[in-house]
Chains A and B, each alone.
Chain A
């Protein structure tokens, strides 16, 4: 009897313990990622530009209770294009990609349409609602250095894509507008697979080409005459990329050296970025102690006369199987919270227009910052999801061709463990092979490896395994060659970078984006060549101003692993108005490679 009672007592203790544990568990699966106890966790995946603001708002919101229960809104950064891809794939690999979001906030509603269409193509139900309110707004603009805009008639003459197309197709370039010193017209535009401004710009280009403002159709997108116009615009592109910040940072540096007007003539960016640039904060992030300094030549926002699109930053409460009714309700409460006037006024601080029209549009959205709150005159209709998806595919076919030399470090340290059982070289090889799929069939790609004394005769420090040629013909050879790479000696970084730059410049192809993609895991280990300043001077003089001869080769660098010298690689890349990418964590190399190749 006593045993039975004792047994019951134990059972009771277990039940109580289980209940206590259950009570300690957050609602909706928040425990796996450290949500507050006894709270409903609302995970949010938001595009980078609103991370700081939404984090601040969430902290305030989390202090109150909803229906007597606490809510823990947790905000994580995910770029719009990456979020769209992850949602299409069911948001795999939560440890790497973050928790499945209850709320997804890309920069624009168009991404929601893309996700729903991709799911529909896979026979799956839509998960993104179509009636979300805008949280904050910013229109897509064509940012131009003020003198260039003035040369096109700004501010008295409306300017549009048709004017840019005419300028891009004019062999005289800016000379036709009385400014031969500015060279050809150069457009900065990102990759619409990644970037909202690029997606919006691509939509706007198509509308401009067909003369519509709504209801862009598949027939329009597939029209050969429209294709021709698209090729014309794309031909003026400097390079692509995953973020407009690369252009703005490069332009800002070029401006500080007095050569801004030769780097890029126009960049498709959001109005908010024009404000950031003109206030001396081109990437929109002020580091501690950083003092913004306005550029010498400010940008002005051109609102294309054919119309434009707004980035509306919706808060999509997903209709996904992992979203519980309790989480949905909490998310709705947060959505209502961010729409309150006192919270909407905060978006102005970040250069956005409030989504709630009960809050006035005010400074910094004003002429002093190169923007016009009375613009745009026409908002273009968002195409149907089918058209959107086709449009992005079509861009892949019509974009400017690339001529790229892939330069890979095969020094001995590449054989070190990457932290997950693979060597760094193994991970890099897989990422490079995967990235080859991002090139289009008529792109030209070559493969060079480097390490000290890698061969007996000159040049001793690098070998061209696959000469630059059409990837359609060389793909197998590239894959085979990358797959066979093995670690060898030291890192003659400066020699390799300089030689690759020179070789690509020598055979420059003006119809393509000419670039060197250099991956290294270390620092320069070559006593024969240690002159970094000299290298940077050479790269710069070969990339901008009259000394470049117009044959601009961009250097894109990947700092791979803990020992890579990111600062040096950044200097080298920026000297050519390219960009440097950080893959200090070797397991991120796949994403980083994808981001780098998005430039071509």
Chain B
């Protein structure tokens, strides 16, 4: 009897194993038939290249605004399995879909954070000295930066030197750029002096003038920080970007007159997120991307969540937050677009 039972169990196990094997083979076949597609934002090009090199995922680089626009407008398949971008974009896109009565696109409205990096300013020393004269407590922050930008020419800025010509502040474009909208959100929080900024606040004419001033000094295409360092202060007086990009380049900089690295208050971080679509393909993208990038994030200057990163001398990250919620950020993008 026990032998028969054993034989029966063995038979069942073999059948189950066969089914399991069949399922695995079918999945592999299906996986082969379905190449994985990931969209990556241009700010993360180095990471995108690593993913492209270390996995079979087809990686397409596309500005966040374009992907977001498609996500919001689509009432069907997006044709991708994942979107590697920065924090607010998937949430903003989902909010846009919700407003149109469309179902959720990604597995979650707030994808988990893979890594973080603070927003920083790199300022040439002589420009920093002039800016400090125009900022409360000599602390360079977004509000006073916008006010200086509004004067347009250094000859009109107390402490500025007329030969410096126009004020040039490079901000990542909030209209298109992944990090840009976070930067503008942080700037708005500093302008109003409180974190609970609402879309209604943006009707304020003085605020809109301030945004216009900031926009007037910003190039249509933000140069890379390497370009700024290579060409010197003639290209930009102030460069706003991500610590992950700016700090390593500054560490390598070997010329006189090195730009100073500032963390404007309130310290704001840009979060690296991977939004995936429901289903096995999305799951595979999540696993493959996590595995491909985990050893490289710190090398690329990102701070791993929960850890100090590779640069202990840099200031610790705050609790995060400090940026308006996605709906408000979307309204802020509109203010930027409308600014003269």
Residues of A within 8 A of B (CB): 131, 133-134, 137, 139, 158, 213-215, 305-308, 310, 353-361, 374-379, 381
Contact between chains at A137 and B166 (CB < 8 Å): no
Contact between chains at B164 and A357 (CB < 8 Å): no
| Known contacts A359-B254, A377-B164; 15 further A-B pairs (Cβ under 8 A) | A131-B45, A131-B224, A133-B226, A134-B231, A213-B166, A213-B168, A354-B230, A355-B230, A357-B254, A360-B255, A360-B256, A374-B232, A377-B165, A377-B234, A381-B220
Choose from B219, B227, B229, B230 the contact partner of A214 (Cβ within 8 Å).
B219
Once A214-B220, A355-B230, A356-B230 are accepted as A-B contacts, the answer to whether A305 and B165 lie under 8 Å apart by CB is: yes
Contact between chains at A379 and B235 (CB < 8 Å): yes
Interface residue SS majority, chain B: helix
B137, CB-defined interface residue at 8 Å: no
CB proximity of A341 to chain B, nearest CB, Å: 8
Choose from B163, B220, B230, B234 the contact partner of A357 (Cβ within 8 Å).
B230
Contact between chains at A215 and B220 (CB < 8 Å): yes
Choose from B165, B220, B224, B249 the contact partner of A378 (Cβ within 8 Å).
B165
CB proximity of A302 to chain B, nearest CB, Å: 13
Contacts of B229 in A (CB 8 A): 357
In the complex, what distance in Å separates the CA atom of A468 from the CA atom of B34? 72
Contacts of B220 in A (CB 8 A): 214-215, 381
Choose from B45, B166, B234, B254 the contact partner of A360 (Cβ within 8 Å).
B254
B253, CB-defined interface residue at 8 Å: yes
Contact between chains at B254 and A376 (CB < 8 Å): no
In the complex, what distance in Å separates the CA atom of A310 from the CA atom of B256? 20
A-B contact pairs, 11 of them (CB 8 A): A131-B45, A133-B226, A139-B234, A158-B163, A357-B226, A357-B230, A358-B254, A375-B234, A376-B234, A377-B164, A378-B166
Contacts of A354 in B (CB 8 A): 230
CB proximity of A167 to chain B, nearest CB, Å: 21
Q: Of all chain A residues, which has the CB nearest B49?
A: A332
In the complex, what distance in Å separates the CA atom of A214 from the CA atom of B235? 11
Contact between chains at B165 and A357 (CB < 8 Å): no
CB proximity of A353 to chain B, nearest CB, Å: 8
Q: Return the CB mask of B79-95 against A: 1 if under 8 Å, else 0.
A: 00000000000000000
CB proximity of A37 to chain B, nearest CB, Å: 28
Total residues of chain B contacting the partner, CB 8 A: 24
In the complex, what distance in Å separates the CA atom of A133 from the CA atom of B165? 26
Q: Of all chain B residues, which has the CB nearest A341?
A: B254
Contacts of B227 in A (CB 8 A): 134
Contacts of A214 in B (CB 8 A): 219-220
CB proximity of B196 to chain A, nearest CB, Å: 35
Q: Of all chain A residues, which has the CB nearest B164?
A: A377
Choose from B45, B165, B230, B256 the contact partner of A134 (Cβ within 8 Å).
B230
Contact between chains at B254 and A310 (CB < 8 Å): no
In the complex, what distance in Å separates the CA atom of A286 from the CA atom of B201? 66
Contact between chains at A357 and B235 (CB < 8 Å): no
Contacts of B253 in A (CB 8 A): 357-358
Nearest first, the 9 A-B pairs at minimum CB distance are A357-B229, A378-B165, A358-B252, A379-B234, A379-B235, A376-B234, A358-B254, A357-B230, A360-B255
Contact between chains at A307 and B255 (CB < 8 Å): no
Q: Return the CB mask of B146-179 against A: 1 if under 8 Å, else 0.
A: 0000000000000000011110100000000000
Contact between chains at B230 and A213 (CB < 8 Å): no
Contacts of B249 in A (CB 8 A): 357
Contacts of B233 in A (CB 8 A): 377
In the complex, what distance in Å separates the CA atom of A356 from the CA atom of B164? 24
Q: Of all chain A residues, which has the CB nearest B161?
A: A377
In the complex, what distance in Å separates the CA atom of A355 from the CA atom of B168? 21
Q: Of all chain B residues, which has the CB nearest A381?
A: B219
CB proximity of B123 to chain A, nearest CB, Å: 16
CB proximity of B301 to chain A, nearest CB, Å: 16
Q: Of all chain A residues, which has the CB nearest B250?
A: A357
Contacts of B254 in A (CB 8 A): 357-360
Q: Of all chain B residues, which has the CB nearest A213?
A: B166
In the complex, what distance in Å separates the CA atom of A353 from the CA atom of B234? 14
Q: Return the CB mask of B243-275 against A: 1 if under 8 Å, else 0.
A: 000000100111110000000000000000000
Contacts of A305 in B (CB 8 A): 163, 165
In the complex, what distance in Å separates the CA atom of A360 from the CA atom of B253? 8
